[in-house]
């Protein structure tokens, strides 16, 4: 089962624009994480936000979490061509063990 559902499935923007990706999940969580994957490569961790946090920043990344709506968003500001990748949200539930469950991802294409 996939816990997170990302929206949109794909996003194409111009360099310099902001990119926003959304994630919805189903069960209560301890934390939510965002990962990036370049084509054919492993995933790289970007940022983690805990269930008692509402917003977190890291460089050009801004993540928000709304536990009442079971949703999160990832904002990449001033995008670059090198940001072209797939982005996944992942959740760790506070029930049922310590599994990290991933969504289907958003494919971001940044045009130079």
Partner 1 sequence: DGGITQSPKYLFRKEGQNVTLSCEQNLNHDAMYWYRQDPGQGLRLIYYSQIVNDFQKGDIAEGYSVSREKKESFPLTVTSAQKNPTAFYLCASSIFQGSNTGELFFGEGSRLTVL
Q: Give the span between the Cα atoms of 102 and 33, in whole angstroms.
A: 9
Name the burial class of residue 109, with classes exposed (0-12), middle (13-18) and buried (19+) by CB atoms within 10 angstroms of its CB: middle
Piece in contact with partner 1 (CB under 8 A), picked from 12-20, 44-52, 57-65, 73-81 = 44-52
Examine residue 23 and tell whether it contacts partner 1 (CB under 8 A): no
Strand 10-14 relative to strand 106-111, pairing = parallel
Examine residue 61 and tell whether it contacts partner 1 (CB under 8 A): no
Q: Cβ closer to partner 1: 1 or 68?
A: 1
Q: Cβ closer to partner 1: 19 or 107?
A: 107
Examine residue 44 and tell whether it contacts partner 1 (CB under 8 A): yes
- From residue 91 to residue 110, the character string flagging contacts with partner 1 as x (rule: CB under 8 A) and all else as - is -xxxx-xxxxxxxxx-x---
26 φψ region: left (φ > 0), alpha (ψ -120 to 50), beta (else): alpha
């Amino acid at each position: 089962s996939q816990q997170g559902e990302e929206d949109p499935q794909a996003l194409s923007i111009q360099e310099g624009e902001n990119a926003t990706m959304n994630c919805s999940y189903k069960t209560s969580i301890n934390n939510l994480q965002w990962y990036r994957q370049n084509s054919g490569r492993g995933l790289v961790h970007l940022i983690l936000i805990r269930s008692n946090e509402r917003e977190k920043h890291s460089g050009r990344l801004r993540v928000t979490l709304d536990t009442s709506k079971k949703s999160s968003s990832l904002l990449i500001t001033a995008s670059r061509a090198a940001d072209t990748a797939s982005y996944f949200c992942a959740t760790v539930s506070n029930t049922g063990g310590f599994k990290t469950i991933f969504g289907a991802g958003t494919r971001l294409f940044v045009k130079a």
